[in-house]
Amino acid sequence: MQIRTYLGILLGVLVVVYVSFLTPLNLDLLVLPFQLGTEINIPLYAALLAVFLAGLLPPVTALLVSSLKRDLAQRRERRRSREAESFNHRFRRAVDFHADGQYGKAASALNSLLTERPEHFATLLRSGQVQRHQGKTEEALEIHRRASVLYPRSVALLYQLAEDYDATGESQVALEIRNRILRDFPSHGLEVMRMRRDQCMAADKWDDAVRWQGKVDALLEDTGDTLAVERERTISQGLAYQSGVALLEKDRPTEAAVVFQGLLDQEPRFIPACIMLGEAELLQDNEEAALDEWRRGFKLTGSPVFLQRLEDHHIEAEQPARAIETLRSLLGQDNELLVRFFLGRLYYRLEMHDEALKILEGIGERLDASPTYHFLLGRIRQRRNDQLGAMARYLTCLKRLGVSVASFACQACGAEYAEWQDRCKACGSWNAVELAFQEEQLRAEEVGVVTSPVWGGYSSREEGAQEKTSAEG
């Protein structure tokens, strides 16, 4: 009860009590006749009562009607609230079934909800997804088509329709729908842009990938999503690296060197950029600058990729003595274990078996867990006709997981490669492929390799697909 109603009732009670007190005191006056006409009269109290009722009944009636309306409205609201809560509870259960992979139960629950509210946006959206996950692509398409008629400006429905057409094999229609998102909704289309960029990256169409990345960056510029902006920044840097590689392939090493140097100014531990900057210097006949760059990269990161590149360069140039000199100049640092291993392997490569054996056996205690180390010693002893010694090393190699050659693995997705790669072809990450130290039973830190940042990688269009859609609305 509102305070105003309470005060009104209290005032009415006080008036009645006061009138009851005055009535006996004025009884003679109240029974006097009150003329309503020449021949019609009534007692004065009846006239006063009529006037009182005429003034009281309208507001009292209005108050009662208002109270009844308010009470009915509150009851209707409570009923709607209970129905909405029940609906939302059942919708959440359907979403849980969907997330749990129980698509049959999810579909049944959603169909029941659509019977009650056939135009409910979230239920239509989710129902189509469930049908598609059940393999009922035509049913999914029909549901999302019906929803798109009811909600023609929904970007979420357009995305789902594109997925439906992809599932039915009508990729051209899906492409047109995604183009419509980009055309008709300028503030949306981020996932389409990312998809197009990733497709270009997978196809090594770097110029097109850079163009799509620019659109992604422009759309994210004012969102305030710092995590998304940072992730896209790393992909932009990776694409800049690929632009530099493309310049090298077009025999434009000076421009490529500027690109690689810019990337290294942002992140000095970006190994592929450092390697390619050295290659650009070589193409400009700046051999010493290239070697200095690779030496600097090794001192900064400890990555064996630089040692391998230095060794290969000198061997290709038929300068074995310089190769030895270069590796020896890197001794005495915190990460000299790798240098000694590569120096020993270089001696073996140059058929200098005594020197190789001396170097490698000197680091045996620290590399005893490495099967590659024992395999290399076995090869050296075999070349020296020490068959028993070679056999012992090979057996030790087999005991160390049976790995006979070094391999490389992506730190981001785990893909393995026989040779070092500047970019993982499986997940698209740059600066992620490194010597597979797990296979070597060694930690990278044990041999002085510094952790380097990983840039980019393909985004997933399905990341948001499994998130629960709110049942409100």
DSSP state string for 209-244: HHHHHHHHHHHHTTT--HHHHHHHHHHHHHHHHHHH
Band (51; pLDDT cuts 50, 70, 90): confident
pLDDT given at position 234: 86
pLDDT given at position 465: 35
Share of the chain above pLDDT 70, in %: 90
Instruction: Note whether residue 396 is domain-resident.
Output: no
pLDDT at 135 over 70: yes
Instruction: Note whether residue 198 is domain-resident.
Output: no
pLDDT at 461 over 50: no
Q: Which two tokens stand for residue 300?
A: 């900064």
Q: What is the mean pLDDT of the chain?
A: 86
- pLDDT tens per residue across span 138-161: 999 999 999 999 999 999 999 999
Q: How many CB atoms are located within 10 Å of the residue 467 CB?
A: 9
- Domains identified in the chain, total number: 1
**Amino acid in position 13:** V
Provide DSSP, 372-424: HHHHHHHHHHHHTT-HHHHHHHHHHHHHTTT--S--EEETTT--EESS--SB-
pLDDT at 464 over 50: no
pLDDT at 404 over 50: no
Residue 178, class by beta-carbon neighbours within 10 Å (0-12 exposed, 13-18 middle, 19+ buried)? buried
Q: Which two tokens stand for residue 6?
A: 């309470």
Rounded Cα distance between 337 and 359, Å, is 10
Q: Find the length of the chain.
A: 473
pLDDT given at position 403: 44
Domain hosting residue 80, numbered range:
3-85
Instruction: Note whether residue 58 is domain-resident.
Output: yes
pLDDT given at position 2: 66
Q: What is the DSSP letter of 36?
A: S
Instruction: Note whether residue 10 is domain-resident.
Output: yes
Instruction: Note whether residue 25 is domain-resident.
Output: yes
pLDDT given at position 460: 44
**Which of 361, 407, 362 lies closest to 381, judged by CA?**
361
Instruction: Note whether residue 199 is domain-resident.
Output: no
Residue 95's contacts (CB-CB under 8 Å, 6 or more residues apart) are 106, 126, 468, 469, 471
Instruction: Note whether residue 75 is domain-resident.
Output: yes
Instruction: Note whether residue 34 is domain-resident.
Output: yes
* Helix, strand or coil, per DSSP, at residue 42: strand
